[in-house]
Amino acid sequence: MRITVVGSINLDFVATAPKLPRAGETVTGGVLARHPGGKGANQALAAQRLGADVCLIGRVGRDSMAEEALALLLADDVDIGGVLADAEQPTGVALIAVDPDGENQIVVAAGANHSAFPEQLPARIEGPLILQLELPIETVEAAVGRATDFVCVNLAPAQPVSDQLLRRADLIVVNETEAAFYGDLLHHGGGRVVVTQGAAGATLFQRGVELAHATPPKVRAVDATGAGDCFVGAICVALLEGLEPEAALSFACAAGAIAATRPGAQPSMPTREEVEAILEG
């Protein structure tokens, strides 16, 4: 299975602290770590570790952070031939605060991600395609228009998109906040829609009708950063392999749950064997 991911690439600076700060508050006692991240890169690595052959298209800066941001993708043999280095913009950065229960706050400085324009895309994108909304929206729209196969769009972070994109998507993935932003527009196309609900699981709809629901195995969450991206990569792999909706949701929920038990976004992505093991009990 050859999947193309068009998406963001970041270096995450993660501060684990006793609690998340309120507006204007300073919280001390944090511990800092650096991890590769970015929704596109996270989803690419998740799908690769779960059994797909993945090509990533994106943009980094021509700086020292780029090597860190791409390190795990290279280690897991993700094809990064479509990743370009920008001489003017820095590699994207995410500033993440995490509390002891795994809840987080994230601020993203997109950097080179916002220079990933449609001209960087191939004229045709063969095979399945996964996208998110951390690149310029015109690039996302162009990629969808050039796709020839299955298209999954993770509508995150929530922002206005064209009706054409919503109708073309074979699979839309959103969390509860994003689902509220888009409302009934999510269900106007003929594709499937998955709404994730954290520990409460995920529900799959088609034309507004519920087809399946699954809940994740009980785990102790350490850091939820990347768990949603892991879910996206997993649900795509599962559906493309032909799993029935409920089985595919269960597979993706298990993958996301494992990711939440580990610090960092990309370092937390599980292997296929780990997901199958937790599903077996």
Q: Report whether 223 contacts 16 (CB < 8 A).
A: yes
Give the separation between CA 54 and CA 5, rounded to whole angstroms. Answer: 7
Token output for 156: 């995150």
Single-letter residue type at 182? Y
Q: Report whether 268 contacts 261 (CB < 8 A).
A: yes
Give the separation between CA 158 and CA 179, rounded to whole angstroms. Answer: 9
Which of 12, 79, 86, 229 is catalytic? The answer is 229
Q: How many CB atoms within 10 Å of residue 21?
A: 13
Q: Report whether 272 contacts 238 (CB < 8 A).
A: no
Q: What does R_g of the chain's alpha carbons equal in angstroms?
A: 18
Nearest to 2 by CA among 172, 182, 137, 149: 149
Give the separation between CA 263 and CA 59, rounded to whole angstroms. Answer: 25
Bridge partners of 93, per DSSP, are 11, 109
Backbone angles phi, psi at 195, to 5 degrees: -110, 120
Q: Report whether 55 contacts 79 (CB < 8 A).
A: yes
53 in active site: no
Token output for 51: 């059994």
Give the separation between CA 62 and CA 262, rounded to whole angstroms. Answer: 30
The catalytic residues are 229
